[in-house]
């Protein structure tokens, strides 16, 4: 097992199976020394954790947990391309899309669910640039979608 997977195990987590795409795309692609993931939904065991809008049916805390699951799914997508998570030299960028009500402004706190997990799993290499964007709707009525870009060695 890789060091990042050991850290996941310490958190009571594991790299899940790569989520089946919901349309015509692949979960991740390598280009040079970077891996770009497709947007990852909060899928767990083949099902969305929650549906609805943050600030409405979904609380900020529930959405942060969804963002963590999205990041876990993104880690799985990266692993499917590089084979060994020890090859991740840096998490470069995280983009979190948050389906939220018009008055909800806590998108950065929701995105922290993903960012904090990446920091715990990859340490200093998990520190990244980030965008947290509020949107009216996401695929399958998911509350959160996260994509990442990593640099590999």
In angstroms, the CA 33 to CA 72 distance is 21
Instruction: Identify the pLDDT of residue 22.
Output: 86
Q: What structural domains does the chain harbor?
A: 3-15+30-152 (3.30.1330.40)
d(CA 60, CA 25): 29
The pTM for the full model equals 0.97
Q: Mean pLDDT across the chain, nearest whole number?
A: 97
Question: What pLDDT is attached to residue 19?
Answer: 84
Mean pLDDT throughout 117-123? 98
Residue 100: pLDDT band (50, 70, 90) is very high
If one compares 48 and 19, the residue with the highest pLDDT of the two is 48
DSSP string, 45-70: TTEES--S-BTTTB-HHHHHHHHHHH
């Amino acid at each position: 097992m890789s060091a990042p997977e050991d850290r996941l195990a310490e958190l009571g987590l594991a790299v899940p199976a790569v989520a089946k795409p919901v349309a015509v795309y692949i979960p991740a692609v390598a280009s040079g020394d970077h891996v770009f993931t497709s947007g990852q939904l909060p899928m767990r065991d083949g099902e969305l954790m929650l549906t609805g809008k943050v600030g409405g049916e979904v609380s900020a805390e529930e959405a942060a947990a969804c963002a963590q699951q999205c990041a876990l799914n993104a880690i799985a997508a990266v692993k499917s391309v590089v084979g060994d998570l020890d090859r991740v030299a840096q998490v470069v960028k995280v983009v979190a899309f948050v389906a939220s009500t018009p008055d909800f402004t806590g998108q950065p706190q929701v995105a922290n669910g993903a960012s904090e997990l990446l920091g715990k799993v990859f340490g200093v290499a998990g520190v990244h640039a980030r965008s947290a964007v509020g949107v009216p709707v996401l695929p399958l009525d998911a509350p959160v979608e996260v994509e990442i870009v990593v640099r590999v060695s």
